[in-house]
Amino acid sequence: MKTFFRLSLLIAAFLSALGAEASAEDVVRIDVAHRGAPISKYIYGQFIEHFGNCMDVGLWAELLRDRKFFYPVGNKVSPWQISGAECPMDETEPFAGKWTPALALKEGEPAALVQKGLRFRAGVDFEGHLWVRPDGDVTQISAALEGAPVEARTEWNADALKPGEYRKLEFHWTVAASEPFGGTFVISAAGTGTVHIGCASLMPADNIDGMRADTIACLKELNSPIYRWPGGNFVSGYDWKDGIGDRDRRPPRKNPAWPGIEMNDFGFDEFMHFCDYMKTEPYIAVNTGAGQIDSALEELEYALGSTKTPNGKLRAENGHTRPYAVRFWGIGNEMFGDWQIGHMPVEEYVKKNNLFADAFHAAYPDLYLIGVGEVGAWDDVFIPGAIGHIEAISEHFYTGKKPETLQRVQQVAYEVKRIADAHDQYRFRWQNLYAEHPLPIAMDEWNYAEGPTVFGLAGIRFDLLDGLGVAEALHQFFRRSDLFVMANYAQTINVLGAIKATPVGVRFESTGLVLALYRNVFGTIPVYAQINDERIDAPSSGIDVSAAITPEGRFLTVAMVNPFAETREVRLDFGGTSVHAKGHIWRMTDKQSDPAAHNDPEEPARITVADEAVNLKKRTVSLPPYSVNILKAQIGR
């Protein structure tokens, strides 16, 4: 790739020496003959973690909070309040977790558990269920949704209730609400004795196997080829077995890494179903913090083992006879950090990484394993100690936001370059090791990490400039397509998310629009591109440009980021390549050219992607202020 850069610069100098005319326009020069390594499709990867509102609220469709009663009902931290009765928490034979609420009934005094402050989308029906165990003379149990403009209720009388046994009571409510609305969910009972309430669930009826249909529609458009899961810091305290089996019976837990409670409704099988439904590939991180090798191998066997193995049999019992297709596995997460459960010195992690990696490869030789990297002192020890045991090394970065516009747009790209430059040095230092065992980078967490927190924990709002910065970061990944095998934007939903979701709406941020646009439009084989004679291996000081052709070589795509407050006219120089006059261009920007513009899931979109035909006869295009632009033109006459 360095040779590619040098040749590109020589070509630019040669073209200039031939007498290219000086112009006040920005000039983009493309040389289709000089190509880099193909861009890995996994550069458009995503990362979802059990953190903040990424899974809950964002992806998972459950509307009730603490549906398995992790907190004692009536406690100030519980979303459930008691009406008209006592409700102790019974620790004998709990339905799920530590205890089960036991609603005490008295004759003529109906009692209820109430959850207020819920918000609902317009135009959807609801479905749900309760697990209850009546003891005594319980005459009626009901579930209701209360709050204008909707009143919905389902009742079950005594002949449907068998004392002493848990029973699943299901309901479906047809609701004709033309606007989003708020409401209260009520579980009530009458008679005498007690009613143990094992758990409750309320979902929009359009859920897709428990996932939000509106979020899934956005994710389909995002079209990510791979998702990393379940963390992140979360994985270092996560027991994967908490997330398998009967969803209602899985124990609620304190999130091991972040504030909040984990219901364990979305576990291993749900993630695999999500990947299958999305036609994407799974990338699973295993617990090398609190977790040990035996648990990791059981997880591996659960995924890939035949039904003759203990954990393959368990998977089949949970409804999945065929092994899952999981090729990518991460050996832990950020084990270098003192914030990480079980973090350790690099020398100890090398041993643990190699132990896990060798055992995984011994069981399944074709796995693609990714170890934990961190540029600097950690990688100085980790790379020579682990190379040959793993297929790739992970790196992470998050940036703040510099005050000057151009620097802010460029800074994520410069982080990509910083890490690439460091790995160039590693490749030079350990040439013999790399010659035998190439070690590409999986940048499996990267993003901006600063801005107003609006969408829950770490739910930072992104503006138009952040979208421009993500585009320039992609350009930098493309420039080093020889080095980066994967990149996972962190995270997909709400938590620094490319998509923001509230209970009543979902919308792409500027960053998500960029990721979807490049994934679905941009070419896969990078070709030489230059702006105003600037070098190609770093972000531009002006218009940033990247170019690629489609796999069959039929189309050329040219991506241009305009970080300035004025429209820029760009002249295109395709060298000796013939390009059709009829082209097409996609533009992401705000109509008011406001760099601070943002999208809100409950408001009409301000930042959008628009596309139009363009005439390339004069070889010029206009780039609106603060915009990302991708031109596509057919090669040949």
pLDDT at residue 270, rounded to an integer: 98
Residue 14 in this model has a pLDDT that exceeds 50? no
User: Which SS3 state, helix, strand or coil, does residue 420 take?
Assistant: helix
Angstrom CA distances, 216 to 56, 58, 61, 208, 375, stand at 14, 10, 11, 8, 35
Q: Is the dihedral of CA 528, 530, 535, 541 positive or negative?
A: negative
Spatial contact of 185 and 213, defined as CB atoms under 8 Å apart = no
Residue reference for tokens 């941009």: 522
CB 63 within 8 Å of CB 120? yes
Buried b (16+ CB within 10 A) or exposed e, 421-450: ebbeebbeeeeebbeeeebbbbbbbbbbeb
pLDDT at residue 24, as a whole number: 53
Question: What does 65-134 look like in DSSP terms, one character per residue?
Answer: SSTT-SSPTTSTT-SEEEESS--PEE-SS-SSSS-EEEEEEBTTB-EEEEEEEEEE-TT--EEEEEEEEE
Cβ count within 10 A of residue 565: 10
- Res 487 pLDDT > 70: yes
Q: For 189-196, what is the mean pLDDT?
A: 95
pLDDT of 167 > 80? The answer is yes
Phi, psi of 317 (to 5 degrees): -65, -25
Q: Are 559 and 475 in contact (CB under 8 A)?
A: yes
C-alpha to C-alpha distance for 626 and 464, rounded to whole angstroms: 7
Which pLDDT tens digit goes with each residue over 382-438? Answer: 999 999 999 999 999 999 999 999 999 999 999 999 999 999 999 999 999 999 999
Q: Which residue has the higher pLDDT, 102 or 160?
A: 102
Residue ranges of alpha helices (H) inside 228-267 are: none
Q: Which residue(s) pair with 103 in the sheet?
A: 195
Domains of the chain: 2-35+525-635 (2.60.40.1180), 41-61+223-521 (3.20.20.80), 80-204 (2.60.120.260)
How high is the pLDDT of residue 637? 66
Looking at residue 323, what DSSP letter applies?
P
Selection from 189, 208, 205 nearest residue 197 by Cα: 189
Q: Is 28 helix (H, G, I), strand (E, B) or coil?
A: strand
The structure's pTM equals 0.94
- % of the chain with per-residue pLDDT over 90: 90
What 3-state class would DSSP assign to 311?
helix
Residue 13 has pLDDT above 50, yes or no: no
528, 31 contact by CB (below 8 A): yes
> Which position has the token pair 């009406």?
83
Model pLDDT for residues 19-77, shown as the tens digit of each residue: 333 335 899 999 999 999 999 999 999 999 999 999 999 999 999 999 999 999 999 99
Q: Do 538 and 9 form a contact (C-beta atoms < 8 A)?
A: no
Count CB atoms within 10 A of the CB of residue 64. Answer: 18
